Amino acid sequence: MAYAHVNGVTLHYEDEGTGPALLFLHGWGTSGRVWGAQLPAFVPDHRVVTVDWRGCGRSDRPAEGNDIGTVVADLVELIGALGLDRPVVVGSSIGAVFALELALRHPELIAGAVSVDGSAHWPTLEPSSSDLAAGLREDRAGTLAGWVPGWFGPDASPVLADWTIRQILDSGVFVDGQFDQALAYDPRPALPGLRVPVHYVHGELSHIPVAISRECAELTPGAELRVIAGAGHMAHQERPAAFNAALRGLLAVMRDGVPA
C-alpha cells in the first residue's frame, strides 16, 4: 500500500502502468476502489493513479480542510510528489468538481479533465441538500440506506449500493462539511475561460439530471458530452464497458483534437 504525505495529510494512492497519466478521483465518502473496473482497461497503456482524498478510504480523516480549495491543494501536491506529467484528471460526482477546479486553477499541471456525473451547480437548485446534511448528523446509517440506492440505475446490482454505503460509513464524518460549500458552488461563469480541454460523461438515469452536464458542456470550449445509456450516477461501476469506451473516445479527442 502506498502513501504520500502532502499538505499536512497522508493520502493513500495506487499507481500502476506506464504511459500517459490518468488521475482518477472518486466521489463523496467512497474511495479509489470505485475505479476497479477501469484499472484493467487502462493500465496496459497508461499510468493510472487512484487516490483516496482526505477524509475518505485509507487516507487521513482530519476535522479541518474538508473543502474544495484544500482538497485541490492536496491534489496539486500529490501530482508533484508522484511526478505526474500533466495527467488527465477523471473525477466522479464531487470528484468532478475537484477535477474541474484543477483545470480552472492549475491548467499548467494537467492535460485535461473529464467530469463524470459532476454535480456542478445542481445543489444550488436542490434546497433539500441541507436536509440531507442534517439527516447524516442524526441518523447516518439510516440516511445513507435511504439515499444511496437511488444513485444507481434499476438494473444495477444491489450489492453496489450496499458496498457504497459501507465505504461511506467507513470514511470520516467531517467530509459532510462539503455539502454546505456545494450549496453555493457554481462553475458556470468560469467555464468559458478554461485553458485545457474538459469533457463530460453522464449516466442517462442519474438523479443529477443530464441537463446539468449538458449546460456545462455548452459553456466549455470544445467540450463533448457522452451519455451512458441505462446508467445512474455511477456509470463507471454500472456500465463499465460503455464507460471505458466513452472515456477512451474522449482521451482521443484530447490527444488528437478530432471528435471520436
Residue whose grid cell is 440506506: 145
pLDDT grade for 123, boundaries at 50, 70 and 90: confident
Return d(Cα 46, Cα 56) in angstroms, integer: 25
Q: Kindly report, residue by residue over 4-61, the tens digit of the pLDDT.
A: 999 999 999 999 999 999 999 999 999 999 999 999 999 999 999 999 999 999 999 9
Residues of the domain holding 135: 2-256
Return d(Cα 245, Cα 250) in angstroms, integer: 9
The pLDDT, as a whole number, for residue 258 is 53
The pLDDT, as a whole number, for residue 183 is 83
The pLDDT, as a whole number, for residue 260 is 44
Q: Is residue 127 scored above 70 in pLDDT?
A: no
The pLDDT, as a whole number, for residue 129 is 65
Q: What is the mean pLDDT of residues 155-177?
A: 96
CATH number of the CATH domain containing 85:
3.40.50.1820
Return d(Cα 94, Cα 15) in angstroms, integer: 22
Q: Is residue 167 scored above 90 in pLDDT?
A: yes
pTM for this entry: 0.96
Return d(Cα 230, Cα 235) in angstroms, integer: 9
The pLDDT, as a whole number, for residue 124 is 83
> What is the total count of domains within the chain?
1
Q: Is residue 163 scored above 80 in pLDDT?
A: yes
Task: Report the percent of the chain where pLDDT is more than 90.
Answer: 89
Q: Is residue 259 scored above 60 in pLDDT?
A: no
Q: Is residue 67 scored above 80 in pLDDT?
A: yes
Chain mean pLDDT for the chain: 95
Return d(Cα 226, Cα 198) in angstroms, integer: 12
- Of 98, 103, 139, which Cα lies nearest the Cα of 119? 98
Q: Kindly report, residue by residue over 183-203, the tens digit of the pLDDT.
A: 889 999 999 999 999 999 999
Cα 34 to Cα 31, 89, 124, distances in angstroms: 6, 15, 26
Q: What is the mean pLDDT of residues 161-166?
A: 98
